[in-house]
Amino acid sequence: MSSPRLLALLRDRAAVRRFSPRTVQAYSRWVVRYVRYHGMCHPAELPVTAVRDYLTHLAVERGVAASTQSQALAALRFLYGDVLEQPLPAMVNVAPARRPHVLPNVLSRDAVTRVLGAMHGVPWLMASLLYGSGLRLQECCQLRVKDVDLDRLEIRVRRGKGARDRVTMLPTSLVDPLRAHRDAAKVVMQRRWARDRGYVVLPFAQGTKAVGATRNPTWCWLFPATREYWDAAARQWRTHHLHPTVLQRAVAEAARLAGIDQRVGCHTFRHSFATHLLENGYDIRTVQELLGHRDVSTTMLYTHVLNRGGLGVRSPLDLDTAGARPSPLRLSRRA
- Residues with catalytic roles: 136, 161, 267, 270, 293, 302
Find out whether 160 and 142 touch, Cβ atoms under 8 Å. Answer: no
For residue 220, the 8-state DSSP code is S
Amino acid at 139: E
* Strands 236-241 and 199-200, bridge-based pairing: parallel
Residue 312's region, left for phi above 0, alpha for psi from -120 to 50, else beta, is: left
Nearest to 130, CA basis, from 238, 250, 10: 250
Q: How many CB atoms lie within 10 A of CB 242?
A: 19
Q: Is 187 exposed, middle or buried (0-12, 13-18, 19+ CB in 10 A)?
A: exposed
Find out whether 189 and 198 touch, Cβ atoms under 8 Å. Answer: yes
Residues 6+ apart with CB under 8 A from 204: 18
For residue 282, the 8-state DSSP code is -
Nearest to 73, CA basis, from 124, 119, 27: 27
